[in-house]
Amino acid sequence: MKRLVLIVAAATATLFTSCNESASAKIDEANLTAAAQRDAVKQDYPEMTFDETSYDFGTVTEGTVVEHEYTFTNTGSSPLVIVNAKGSCGCTVPTWTKEPVAPGEKGMMLVKFNTSGKPDAQTKTVTIKTNTKSGQESITINGFVTPRGQAATPNA
């Protein structure tokens, strides 16, 4: 029995060492060049650079619709496409540039926040799906909403 175990162990060791071919011998130079070119193309992304990513609307009375236009520049090297944009709740509605934004050009994102039913301190986020490297960008709008019929003084 011990002899059988020794024979199996020796055969296994021989099998593994005989298949130990050098990995560098298997690399094809043409494939390596093609992979480098592919990776270089993948780095050619647009970049969405906002003039500001957060806007403070101050203090408003409940029921006011706050609007703010965010401007951005495509600082990347390929056209920027906004696939979708969505507010963190139904009270926050974005409208955006629908056409691709060429490198060096500007685009806009208009955000409307309906303060009805949203008293006190508010922070809303708009998530933007794009063709940038990260695939997602975000901007925020925040401020204080005074309940209807109360004096306009935010809690400190």
Report pLDDT digits (tens) over 6-20: 677 776 666 566 555
Q: What's the pTM value of the predicted model, to 2 decimals?
A: 0.69
Domain coordinates of the chain in residue numbers? Answer: 53-146
pLDDT, average across residues 46-52: 98
- CA–chain centroid gap for 118, Å, is 27
53-146 belongs to which homologous superfamily? Immunoglobulins (2.60.40.10)
pLDDT digits 0-9 by tens, 86-131: 999 999 999 999 999 999 999 999 999 999 999 999 999 999 999 9
At position 45, the amino acid (one-letter code) is Y
Query: How many Cβ atoms from other residues are within 10 Å of residue 49's Cβ?
Result: 15
Rounded to whole angstroms, how far apart are CA atoms 153 and 144?
9
pLDDT at residue 19 in the model: 54
Q: Strands 82-87, 120-130: parallel, antiparallel or unpaired by DSSP? A: antiparallel
Does the pLDDT of residue 72 top 60, yes or no? yes
pLDDT at residue 106 in the model: 98
